[in-house]
Amino acid sequence: MMRPAIEAPLRVLGIMVVALVIVAAPRPASAQETARHTFLLETQANTDDLYLGLNYRLGLALEQRLGVTLSASVRPYLEWVRKPVRPRVFMQLRERRYCFALAVDQEVPLICPFGLYVGAGLGYTAADFDGTHASPKEGWIPVADGGIRCALAVEEAAYIEMRLGYRYSEARADENHWIYLSLGVGI
């Protein structure tokens, strides 16, 4: 039997993968919505934390709107965390945290210029404590997201894209559920 702390994230990741498979059916594509390269500035936030980052999406199967996304984000401030030393004894340290992820995503057009997106992948979170050699929790994390996207044509082969949605990511924070917002260009 799996531990509840692991079971819930795997269940969310499984649901996102099933949704990706369901929406992967071929659909006609317009030039506005199927860029080969998309560059996005992104932010993800919850009640306890905030990350800012960059996102690059490479469209692989343009007719199916399938792509691979590479993202890197950082917490733009130092967060106070408590590290256990021994029972009932903690050190309070300032932590800087980074997250890197590689995911597969699918875009589904609705009513122009709006559509949906869903994706799932694997990330790595790394951190360091300010002023010490102590090592914080680091490691591989599941990443899954989905939401609404809006793509507005600027030229025939370029557009501005905005994404707003939900992201599940175990970024070693107190909360694993995030609101995701990004803005960028596709060419």
pLDDT of residue 29 exceeding 50, the answer is no
Give dist(CA 74, CA 79) in Å, integer: 12
Give dist(CA 34, CA 60) in Å, integer: 10
Establish whether the linkage from the previous residue to 87 is cis, with ω within 30° of 0: no
78: DSSP letter: P
Domain extent at residue 156: 4-186
CATH number where 137 lies? 2.40.160.20
Domain count, the chain: 1
Residue range 92-145, pLDDT digits in tens: 888 889 999 999 999 888 888 899 999 999 999 998 888 777 777 788 999 999
The pTM of this model reads: 0.76
Give dist(CA 107, CA 77) in Å, integer: 32
